[in-house]
Amino acid sequence: MTQKWDIVIVGGGLAGYIAANYLSKTNLSILIVEKGKQVGGRARTNKMDQQYLNLGPHALYKKGKAKSILEELGINLHGKSPKLSGILMEDNMEYAAPLAPFELFTTSLLNGKERIEWVSVLLKLMNTDPEKLAELTLQQWVKQTAHSKKVESLLYILGRLATYCHAPEMVSAKVIVANMKNAMGGVLYLDGGWQTIIDQLHNKASLSGVEVKSPTLVKQMKPAQQDHLKLVLSNDEEILAKYVICTTGPHELNEMLVETEQNHFFSKITPVRGATLDVALTKLPNPKRLFAMGITDPLYYSVHSPYARLSDDPKNAVLHVFKYHHPNDTHDRAIVKNELEEFLDQLQPGWQQYVITRRFIPNIIVNQRLPLIGDEQKLQRSKTEIPGLYIAGDWASPHSILADGAVSSGKQAAAEIILNEERKDSANYERRLPTI
């Protein structure tokens, strides 16, 4: 028999579980369909040799939407904030990163005039209304804001750090600057990794009656009779749903839809990608070096374990080395791996003799949408043109990306379904009222 559900959520990641938790407060039947063996999506944390490795570097904005919504749902977030001090590197030269007050006034990267300009630009950044930058690329905004090349470079570094985006000539200044402001408010590295968020959301949803079906892939989705959507699964099983929230990437969603229902905008969306080297060591050869970024090379390095419990042995070190990919570039796996290892060699000479476990992922999707100017007009609501179909995910929010985009769009999709149900109940109640 074809199963019927009030709501089917495609994808058991952050957006899907946020939506499920809000919807679980209703009397609607809810099913999450997850293609992987393990739920969580890119918020998964793998336990490898007693070490907890996120899929690349993950940080939660302390002033972002995701943190406030997770706390609203009663999710416990344990961890600490990393220090702002670190190193910037260029041509084998090292400079103190001018992100904290002491380094700002002592770094040899900037001369006196550039130092004053950088302070002025940071103040301007914090007082900028991102809404007024809707028609600008990040590059255009940087050119308007900074005068010296050094300060321009620092803004691009901060943009990469806050968003993983390495295409200033393409991306929306509105979205990137909003994230830069959030990043300046500090981040949290989470004890046990981001899997702790997923586990709590999963447990709360399960206790409220939400069911999870995995590993199961949705092959096709199309409108059916009686205001339902029909989902065809990988085993050819069919499911009917009044509402579907799709939290997959836009290209996956388009592949599920029959040709007449496909969205041209979805097919044009470009993901944000990078390469990550996730490493656990018995010790750091140089324990004082905890954070570094390249000035012209789009490279990142951070040791997360001093601020979050990421190993069963507190003496171990868990770190991430990352390369931000430009969307137009092609990448040779061996060359990228060598770049990341060489960057780590510079910062932690001899690290290889202390390796407990390591993992290299050459082309990981960090966010499903590179945020471009005008995207928000095409993503105004989570409801699509197909009746009953809603979207959520890190790409589906008009104003946010990364975890903030995933979490806020998951909440919005749930809110719109709840509001629609309330309207239906109100209309049915009015129809039942006796006429006088």
* CATH number, position 393: 3.50.50.60
pLDDT value of residue 6 = 97
Last residue of a domain, one of 165, 185, 205: 185
pLDDT at 190 over 60: yes
Q: How confident is the model at residue 433 (pLDDT cuts 50, 70, 90)?
A: low
User: Is-above-0.85 flag for pTM?
Assistant: yes
Distance, CA of 145 to CA of 38 (rounded, Å): 45
pLDDT value of residue 48 = 96
258 and 387 in a single domain? The answer is: yes
pLDDT digits (tens, 9 = 90+) for 240-274: 999 999 999 999 999 999 888 888 899 999 999 99
pLDDT value of residue 102 = 82
pLDDT at 376 over 90: no
pLDDT at 194 over 70: yes
22 and 171 in a single domain? The answer is: no
228 and 246 in a single domain? The answer is: yes
Q: Are 362 and 273 in contact (CB under 8 A)?
A: no
pLDDT digits (tens, 9 = 90+) for 71-129: 999 999 999 999 888 999 999 899 999 988 888 888 999 999 999 999 999 999 999 99
pLDDT value of residue 426 = 76
181 and 153 in a single domain? The answer is: yes
Instruction: State how far Cα 137 lies from the chain centre.
Output: 21
- Percent of the chain residues topping a pLDDT of 90: 86
pLDDT at 279 over 90: yes
What are the residues whose beta carbons fall under 8 Å from the beta carbon of 125, sequence distance 6 or more? Answer: 145, 155, 177, 180, 181, 184
pLDDT value of residue 259 = 84
pLDDT at 131 over 90: yes
pLDDT digits (tens, 9 = 90+) for 209-225: 999 999 999 999 999 98
pLDDT at 429 over 80: no
384 and 423 in a single domain? The answer is: yes
pLDDT at 43 over 60: yes
Distance, CA of 37 to CA of 20 (rounded, Å): 19
* Interval 346-370 mean pLDDT: 97
104 and 177 in a single domain? The answer is: yes
- Percent of the chain residues topping a pLDDT of 70: 97
Domain membership flag for residue 128: yes
Last residue of a domain, one of 185, 210, 229: 185
Amino acid (one-letter) located at 377: Q
pLDDT digits (tens, 9 = 90+) for 284-327: 999 999 999 999 999 999 999 999 999 999 999 999 999 999 99
pLDDT value of residue 432 = 58
Residue 273: other Cβ atoms inside 10 A: 21
105 and 171 in a single domain? The answer is: yes
Domain membership flag for residue 328: no
Residue 369 phi, psi dihedral angles, 5° rounding: -135, 120
40 and 151 in a single domain? The answer is: no
pLDDT value of residue 384 = 79
Mean pLDDT of the chain: 94
pLDDT at 436 over 90: no
Q: Are 157 and 98 in contact (CB under 8 A)?
A: no
Domain membership flag for residue 69: no
Domain membership flag for residue 309: no
Q: What total number of domains does the chain contain?
A: 2
108 and 180 in a single domain? The answer is: yes
Q: Lowest-confidence range among 35-49, 282-296, 380-394?
A: 380-394
216 and 160 in a single domain? The answer is: no
pLDDT value of residue 162 = 97
Closest alpha carbon to 137 in 374, 320, 360: 374
252 and 395 in a single domain? The answer is: yes
* Interval 379-400 mean pLDDT: 87
Question: Which residues does residue 9 pair with via DSSP β-bridges, in sequence order?
Answer: 32, 245
Domain membership flag for residue 298: no
Q: Which CATH number belongs to the domain containing residue 118 in this structure?
A: 1.10.405
Q: What is the CA radius of gyration of the chain?
A: 23
Amino acid (one-letter) located at 119: V
Distance, CA of 10 to CA of 211 (rounded, Å): 12
pLDDT value of residue 378 = 85
Q: How confident is the model at residue 427 (pLDDT cuts 50, 70, 90)?
A: confident
Closest alpha carbon to 89 in 349, 351, 292, 372: 292
Q: For tokens 């416990």, name the residue.
A: 76
142 and 199 in a single domain? The answer is: no
pLDDT at 189 over 70: yes
Concatenated DSSP letters for 341-378? HHHHHHHSTTGGGGEEEEEEEEEEEEES---BTTHHHH
Domain membership flag for residue 286: no
Residue-range definition of the domain harbouring residue 223: 3-44+194-269+372-428
Domain membership flag for residue 314: no
Q: How confident is the model at residue 434 (pLDDT cuts 50, 70, 90)?
A: low
pLDDT at 363 over 90: yes
Instruction: State how far Cα 350 lies from the chain centre.
Output: 32
Domain membership flag for residue 58: no
Last residue of a domain, one of 185, 204, 227: 185
Q: Are 106 and 96 in contact (CB under 8 A)?
A: yes
Farthest-apart Cα atoms in the chain, separation: 87
pLDDT at 389 over 80: yes
What are the residues whose beta carbons fall under 8 Å from the beta carbon of 287, sequence distance 6 or more? Answer: none
